Chain A
Amino acid sequence: MAEASSNLRTPLILGDKKPIEVSDDICGILERKPTQLWWAAFGVSLFVLIVGAIATAYQVSTGIGTWGLNKSVGWAFDITNFVFWIGIGHAGTLISAILFLFRQRWRTSVNRAAEAMTIIAVLCAAIFPLIHMGRPWLAFWPLPYPNFRGPLWVNFRSPLVWDIFAISTYFIISSVFWYVGLIPDLATIRDRAKEGIRKKIMGILSLGWDGSYRTWVRYETVYLLLAGLATPLVVSVHTIVSMDFATSIIPGWHTTIFPPYFVAGAVFSGFAMVLLLIPIARKVMNLEDYFTMRHIDAMCKIILLTGSIVGLAYLTEFFTAAYSGSVYEQFVFMNRAFGPYAWAYWIMVSCNVISPQLMWFKRVRSNLYIVFALTIVVNIGMWFERFVIIVTSLHRDYLPSSWADYTPTIIELLTLAGTFGLFFTLFLLFCRFLPVIAMGEVKGILSYGRSKRARNVSKTCDEPVGMTPALEGEEA
């Protein structure tokens, strides 16, 4: 345990910083001119975004006949991408809300970036149902509003209507949570800025925050409440997404394990995406002292945990299909593993179940390059998971006469690429204009910021350790 103990004594933020240095480090990024590396990354992302936008414009003006769908496989790329992006978003809420409730203090370095990722990912996800409507300008139709088409209401029993409520609530609350977290930091930028446009804007956005303690008390209560609300919300969102499938009676979709299994999968892929962004942000913006190897280690362990849950869910599904005594169930699962899309299935299994098991090894978790490669592998695997669930369940219908295969068209591939362009463009803009790290929260966990009484308990505890050493946890 010597290794773990020394680990626990490593401070969360390296470099023995004082609060002013944190402000200098984080605000400094915004006050300087962007680096060439930033411009290069932004240029590439913007280009991909534009390509995607052109593809989108083409399919909206032509019609979704430009996709590879057919009468058997009526859902494929669009829904796969939708679930994929929604899933990515979940890690942000998990880091900001659930880890906050569990008092895992290492989250303070990563939560701002992860929350931004959530909001952007939800935006990317929302594009797909919009395009799939075929006539996106009528996107308001599924909203329940009094109208002049007789007493005509949407079907509230439909999981797709639940989706609209779930996703929009999720988007609103993630944004609120993010903004509330930003207010004190915006005040910091305001106070540092010289008179001018930045100061004006930040002055308005920070709502005249003055750091009064009476304000802080209510602010902290609200932050805790929002975390408490966001936690069941994030679970409900992917639960409802899973119900898009599970409430149907299509074998392979209609199974009771879907809600928790989708949630675990979403957290799994979301953490992989955070772990993909963090090393980049760390390098590009010199934030090595804030995003330390400890953060990466802790997130690797969450990936390992959720990856194993996903693996167990695959096994349970197979077992229950065998046990069910239903020939349709049994056929779907055999077809998944050995049918025409077996290649996709085995990519999914090797990326999602086998590859994260490497993270049992400390040596793997402490090598940034391997971790980076594994996160890409996991993201690919999770994309394929949704593809496998959706396409393999549909392409072999109850009637063999309606069996059909699905291949994506170039338009669909470009749209998917375009959302990655959108994702990285917005993320880079966020890095430019807003503090990537929650300064107020980080200052609270600096060894400087800690009270002397706590330090007197022991020299070792200027770095408080959480209820879960395995996650390198922190406990306020």
Chain B
Amino acid sequence: MLTENQLQKVKSLQGKSLLAAIGGLIVAIGWGFLNGSMFQGLLIGYLLIFALGVSSLALVMLHHLCGGSWSFVAQRIAEAGSRTLPFLALVGALVMGGALMFSTVFPWANAEFLNIEENHLIKYMSHEKEAFLNIKTFAICFVGYFAVWIGFMLAFNGWSKKLDDTGDPKYISKMKIWAGFGCVFYVLTMTFAATHWAMSTDPTFFSTIYGAWMIAGGALSMMCFCVIMLTWLSDEGPLAEKVSPQIYHHFGNFMLGFTIFWSYLSFSPFLIIWYGNLPEEIGWYLHRSGGGLAAMTVVLIVGVWFTPMYLLMMRNNKTNPNKLRKIAFYILATRVVDMYWNIAPSFENNHNTIGWGTVVSTLGAVAGIGGLWLWVFLNELKKRPILPQQDPREELMFLKEKAHNHG
């Protein structure tokens, strides 16, 4: 259980997050409406926040599949995060539904936009991809993806609750088996969802690695979010006893690993597509390599790849919670740059410019949707004890930790 002080802290953050949400939404919707970049910003903001919810589910499953003390202490954070999925489904339906109806965010859904002469390539490719890119399929798939995720979420949270109450090991075996299936489903649905929700904003482009790229980015966000939550909540109470520098070291290593993995998944497709130089693919990179976006690409290389990698290679930065938390905040901030770079250039009608209008509505949407999400998340977090109560594996996981620290 969280202590009284911590509950106060959570409550006050919830208040602040609501304020941020209101402010953010006013900017995203108000400014976005005037500027015509409302749904653009909302989509980018939504995908960033959505990644936290769905990666929480992945982390829950990963914990049961092959976790240890590091994922044990973060389990309730991840479970609470996964319970925000119904909320995310609702917001997603609003954002994407609106985007499909009232904007050119998904060009293939907008007949008027496609009929403009200079968009003939987009029109042609949209037509070629009609089987997958049409509003009906999009809607059915949207429901399908969330049905799968929410189904797994309900199952794992249910078993976890029962395990808390009974301590019966049979729930562990159940979770372990379903976690295996869950991971397979997770990768599949994420691949399709990434294609629908993000890649199709440029209907000419296709890349097999895109889904994995999104998964890697989301996992990186989730690791940073866990570190921030753990440092925030381990000042006293049950987490204070369990969270050791060793655990931060694990998280730091994962942050390093996912940073490198993300960079690998960013550079290798670029090299392949740059080399192939095929008209249907190369456009996506051309629109990100000139003018203001060229500068942004350099920012990505230096700020999203090199800086965190360099910082996280040093052991001291990973075992010191304060330093690690700062790095985690930094990486979360860079995730916004990355997601903007990934999606927004498709909206600028491919003029290689940073659309400052979209930047503002994106930041507004991140604060708006993020604030609401944080409120829901903290609400969920309060509902259950902050650590699993009767997990038979607990002793074993922490024994190792001790053996490690002493031996």
Contact = CB atoms under 8 A, between A and B. Distances in A.
A249 interface: yes
A319 interface: yes
A8 B132 CA distance: 48
A40 interface: no
Contact of B407 (A247, A257, A316, A464): A464
Given A256-B273, A260-B212, A457 B406 contact: yes
A319 B407 contact: no
A468 B67 contact: yes
Contact of B70 (A2, A256, A467): A467
B129 interface: yes
A325 interface: yes
B188 interface: yes
B268 A239 contact: yes
Report whether over half of chain A's contact residues are helix, strand or loop; otherwise say mixed.
Answer: helix
Contacts of A326: 128, 206, 280
Given A247-B276, A315-B188, A453 B260 contact: no
A364 to B, nearest CB: 14
A468 B253 CA distance: 14
Contact of B129 (A255, A259, A260, A323): A323
Contacts of B237: none
B212 A461 contact: no
A343 interface: no
B102 interface: no
A340 interface: no
Contacts of A320: 195, 206-208
A361 B262 CA distance: 33
Contact of A454 (B208, B250, B403): B403
A243 interface: yes
A258 B272 contact: yes
B392 A5 contact: yes
Interface residues of A, number: 53
Interface in A426-476: 450-451, 453-454, 457-458, 460-461, 464-471, 473, 475-476
Contact of B172 (A1, A247, A257, A317): A1
A259 B276 contact: no
Given A247-B271, A470-B66, A457 B208 contact: no
Interface string B38-72: 00000000000000000000000000011111100
A464 B400 contact: yes
Contact of A257 (B209, B271, B275): B209
A17 interface: no
B404 interface: yes
Contacts of B345: none
A255 B276 CA distance: 10
Interface string B219-260: 000000000000000000000000000000010000000001
Nearest to B278: A249
Contact of B208 (A2, A255, A360, A467): A255
A247 B208 contact: no
B212 A465 contact: no
Contacts of A476: 404, 407
Contact of A232 (B184, B192, B260): B260
B88 to A, nearest CB: 24
B162 interface: no
Nearest to A259: B268
B402 interface: yes
Interface string A404-445: 000000000000000000000000000000000000000000
Nearest to B184: A308
A70 interface: no
Nearest to B269: A256
A469 B66 contact: yes
A79 to B, nearest CB: 18
A246 interface: yes
A86 B77 CA distance: 42
A242 to B, nearest CB: 8
Contacts of B278: 249, 254
Interface string B374-407: 0000000000000000001100110110111011
Interface of A: 1-2, 4-5, 8, 232, 235, 239, 243, 246-249, 254-260, 308, 312-313, 315-317, 319-320, 322-326, 360, 450-451, 453-454, 457-458, 460-461, 464-471, 473, 475-476
9 contacts: A1-B172, A259-B264, A260-B265, A326-B280, A360-B180, A465-B396, A465-B400, A467-B400, A469-B66
